[in-house]
Structure formats: structure tokens, C-alpha cells
Chain A
Amino acid sequence: DAKTTQPPSMDCAEGRAANLPCNHSTISGNEYVYWYRQIHSQGPQYIIHGLKNNETNEMASLIITEDRKSSTLILPHATLRDTAVYYCIVRSGDSNYQLIWGAGTKLIIKP
């Protein structure tokens, strides 16, 4: 599975959009981009995933560049409860797990 690179931390004002970048320049054609988050000491929570097209659900939007080498997770109206560590993971479509998760981005939402 390809490796991902994320900034270690970010701040965002409450009510504003939080844009979390992820670099996955070695991604291959059958690898999906997944985003999870981990709120302090809890189990990771699935947010969204995509292959080529941009995706949106009730939690977030995922924007994948045309060359698929990077992506951005967008939380449209961040709340204090969105403070968490956000993990960007790339995995093969036929494998259901990831050997190593990076350190992720610690997102702090400020009032």
C-alpha cells in the first residue's frame, strides 16, 4: 500500500471549513483513499473514501486531484467536536486493512 504524508497539526476556527491535505504521490491505480478520525482516546471512526471522483457524505467532502497524487478532506462547518486526529490511508481495493497508519493530522477547532 502507498504511503501518505500529512501535516502534523492544523487549527481551524469554529464554523469555518477545515481543509485537511494528504499527499499520496505513489498511489497506484487500484488504491482507494480512506479518511478516518480518532477523537481523543476513542476508536477510529470512518469518515469517507474515494477512488477517482470527488465524494461527499453527511460528514465531509473528499477532493482527489486529477493525477490522484493528493487529496483534501473538507469539513464544511467545523465544530468543537471535530477536534481529533485525522488519518489519510491508501489501500488496495482488494485488501480490507492497512498495515501501518501514519501519525495523522491533529486538527484543533478553536472557538
Chain B
Amino acid sequence: NAGVMQNPRHLVRRRGQEARLRCSPMKGHSHVYWYRQLPEEGLKFMVYLQKENIIDESGMPKERFSAEFPKEGPSILRIQQVVRGDSAAYFCASSPGTGGTGELFFGEGSRLTVL
């Protein structure tokens, strides 16, 4: 029973390149959440998606960042034209949706370093 899978675990990009982070939710989970974490800080919500729909993207920068959760395949967080300030750990979480305990199940994160 695999948990939330994120890849790559570590990604290095030069300024101006694109970063693409992938997240496969737990089996049976239809809700995906992306968070960003800077060193020594708490997580900051970015975006909440259900299959083929963005439910809440209020925490995501308007430019350069986009997210999708297609009908088939993993959720993808895309950062275009990366800058040094994008260096952070990006965590994905999933939940079954309605009902349950409201618990979020987190992946191990993707650590982006922008040179």
C-alpha cells in the first residue's frame, strides 16, 4: 500500500530553466495539495486540486507557477523560468476527499535548488 510518491526527490536547475515536480497520491485518493517549505519555516499552502480541476490556487504565485492533476497520471507542479527564490522543499499531500478524518498524507518532498 504505497504512500504518496513524489519525484524527483532532488532537482537542480539553473536560473531561467523549468522545474517539473510530480506527485502520485495514495491509492484511492482523489484530492491533492501542494505546499512549499523554506528552511526553518512551516509549510505554506500553494494549490488544492481534484482530478482535472483546480479547487483553490490562492497560495500559488500568479506567474511562472502552474499545477495540474489530469484524469490519468500524477499531479504536476510546474515552475517556469526558475529564480533563486524558488529554491525550497515542495511537499505534496493527498486525501480521500469527503468524509474520513481529514488527515492529509504527505510525500517525502521534492527539494529544488536553483543555481
A residues at B contact (CB < 8 Å): 32, 34, 36, 41-46, 49, 87, 91, 93, 96-104
Instruction: Point out which of A34, A42, A46, A96 has the most chain B C-beta atoms below 10 A from its C-beta.
Output: A96
Given the interface pairs A42-B108, A96-B95, the reply to whether A32 lies near B102 with Cβ below 8 Å is yes
A103 adjacent to B104 (CB under 8 Å): no
Q: Is the interface of A mostly helix, strand, loop or mixed?
A: loop
A49 adjacent to B102 (CB under 8 Å): yes
B4 adjacent to A43 (CB under 8 Å): yes
- Nearest chain-A residue to B92 (Cβ)? A43
B residues at A contact (CB < 8 Å): 4, 31, 33, 35, 40-45, 48, 56, 58-59, 89, 91, 93, 95, 97, 101-109
CB neighbours of B107 from chain A (8 A):
43
A44 adjacent to B106 (CB under 8 Å): yes
A103 adjacent to B42 (CB under 8 Å): yes
Give the docked Cα–Cα distance between A104 and B89 (Å).
Answer: 17
One of A43, A91, A100 near B108 (C-beta < 8 A): A43
